[in-house]
A and B are shown apart, each in its own frame.
Chain A
Amino acid sequence: MGKDSKMIRLEDVHKSFGDLEVLKGINLHVKEGEKLVIIGPSGSGKSTLIRCMNYLEEPTSGKVYVHNHLMSRKRRAFINKIHSSMVFQQFNLYPHLTVLENLTLAPMKLKKISKAEAEQTAMTYLKRVGLEEKANVYPTTLSGGQQQRIAIARALTMQNRVIFFDEPTSALDPEMVQEVLDVMIELSHEKNFTMVVVTHEMGFAREVADRIVFVDGGRILEEGTPEHFFTNPENERTKAFLSKIIR
């Protein structure tokens, strides 16, 4: 496949739900260690786009490569296991397990790591998101912001180098948004860590992104550095979107 540093590569990805074509040919490369932020109005296909990267949505046509592995339905479990993790809008913690068990389940079952070691790793990441004292409670007893920080810790415990964030702060009460963003900003300082983030948080995008991609109508309309984006966007739709979202 070559020795490029493309962590994720999408080639002419189309996705339709019935008659509705949500993605209309996406070509996108994400480099290793890059912090890519995807923005766009609701219904633009940005969530579908990020979900195609780990095959939670199977593209109707086109190819997805993760670390030079061609994605397929059959290989999804294997590739996600060793390459990527995801943080969801609705947290999606496992409610029947304690916080600690949420963090140790996948490493123990999928990477065959011993319980002691998995728990030790889990505690390290819980400390990192500032919630080590919540290890033995059930997720439903926690606030949204806390649950999302746990979800981030859970994504980290697999020690994969790519993390997808699908609107991680959209379901949170306003006062809890910052605590989650802080954790994400702290993560972004790691050089070899690839982050793909779908978000409406423009401040975050500006601070963290190496590159911003603007999606609308199932197509990538514009991409560039945050500076380019926020100072002189070229596309009319981008301008209109940004003028609405930044006040």
Chain B
Amino acid sequence: MSELMGSLKMISNGSVLMYILKGVGFTIGIAFFAVVLGIIIGTVLALARNYCTKGWLNIFRYIATAYIEVFRNTPLMLWIFIGLVFFPSIEFSAEFTKFFELSRTEMAVLFKAIVALVLFTSSVIAEIVRGGLNSIPKGQFEAAYSQGFNFFQTLILIVLPQTFKNIVPTLLSQVITTIKDTSYIANIAIAELMGKTFQLIQIAPRYTGFTTQNVSDVFVLCGLACVIYFAINFTLSCVVRHMQKPKKRTAPAAAN
């Protein structure tokens, strides 16, 4: 019982809580960054895969298809390790890394992991966007062409706005998945919530007053991480569910 009290004392320590909170910040920040970049890259990939069907443009379709299928059908963990070994190390400025309270080496490693996450996420989002594009009736293109819009105007003014409106719930589900996916980064870097949790388990004796780690440390720290992940993601999934509820029509369909 005293072990548990020691563990609980640890997480009521202000600096430990702050450490965890910064991890939460990284988790959300990395996921947000990956999803935003994923939407941009994914949209380009989806457009290339769907519409580069004429002559030499087919090259882009093949590239996009290969990219999507490779990253979507292989585990993220694999790409994080491949990234760690093969991706180039970026030299970040000292001020930049200081802002994130990381060393320059840590920052370089974290960056590789984020690149892997972006590659993976963008391939998944590309298929979500493509599903959205395919759900737009052909008639929308035809209406636009008959009015004199060209292909790009049609995409930007008519097709993509409808596509994104339709896929918002699916994209939010992907945000949830990506938030959970950030935990893979704990394997190579200490920055986000899972990494910080592992780190705290390692150094628990400094705070609990015991000389060794206890099972209760794992129970309490992982329990806390669990509660935090759940709180964030459950909130998001409630939002998704709310959005998917069939909307009541503001104006009843007048049949005259």
Report A's interface with B, CB cutoff 8 A: 54-56, 76-82, 84-86, 88, 90, 92-96, 105-106, 109-110, 137, 141-143, 146, 154, 158, 164
> Contact flags (1/0) for B40-71 with A, using CB distance below 8 Å?
00000000000000000000000000000000
Please tell me if the beta carbons of B145 and A92 are within 8 angstroms of each other in the complex. no
> Which single member of B142, B157, B251 contacts A109 (CB below 8 Å)?
B157
Task: Known A-B contacts: A90-B139, A106-B148, A141-B250. Give 16 more (CB < 8 A).
Answer: A77-B145, A79-B148, A80-B145, A81-B147, A85-B147, A88-B143, A90-B137, A92-B139, A94-B140, A94-B158, A96-B165, A109-B157, A141-B251, A141-B253, A142-B253, A142-B254
B162 interface contact, C-beta 8 A: yes
Whether the pair B162, A96 counts as a contact (CB closer than 8 A) is yes
Bound complex: CA A56 to CA B157 (Å) = 19
Contacts of A86 in B (CB 8 A): 142-143, 146
Asked if A109 contacts B162 (CB within 8 A), the reply is: no
B168 to chain A, nearest CB (A): 12
Shortest distance from the beta carbon of B196 to any chain A beta carbon, whole Å: 42
> Across the interface, do A143 and B254 meet the contact criterion of CB distance under 8 Å?
yes
Most-contacted residue by chain B among A92, A137, A158 (CB, 10 A)? A92
Contact between chains at A105 and B157 (CB < 8 Å): yes
Contact check, A85 vs B157: say whether CB atoms are below 8 A apart.
Answer: no
The answer to whether A56 touches B165, judged by C-beta atoms less than 8 angstroms apart, is: no
Interface size on B, residues (CB 8 A): 25
B interface vs A, CB < 8 Å? 137, 139-140, 142-143, 145-150, 153, 157-158, 161-162, 165, 249-256
Chain A contacts for B249, CB-based, 8 A? 141
Flag if B147 contacts A88 (CB, 8 Å).
no
Quick check: A77 and B148 within 8 Å, CB to CB?
yes
List the B residue with the shortest CB-CB distance to A80: B148
- CB-nearest residue of chain A relative to B166? A96
Q: Does the CB pair A78–B148 fall under 8 Å? A: yes
Contacts of A90 in B (CB 8 A): 137, 139
Query: How distant is the Cα of A109 from the Cα of B153 in the complex, in angstroms?
Result: 9
Bound Cα distance from A177 to B40, whole angstroms: 45
- Cβ of B149 and Cβ of A109 under 8 Å apart? yes
**Contact A143–B147 (Cβ < 8 Å):** no
A-B contacts, 25 of them at CB < 8 A, read A55-B145, A56-B142, A77-B153, A79-B148, A80-B148, A82-B148, A85-B147, A86-B143, A88-B139, A90-B137, A92-B142, A93-B143, A94-B143, A94-B158, A96-B158, A96-B165, A105-B157, A106-B149, A110-B153, A142-B253, A142-B254, A143-B255, A146-B254, A158-B147, A164-B146
Query: In the complex, A99→B139 CA distance in Å?
Result: 17
The answer for the CA separation of A158 and B157 in the assembled complex, in Å, is 17
Cβ contact of B161, chosen from A56, A77, A84, A96, cutoff 8 A: A96
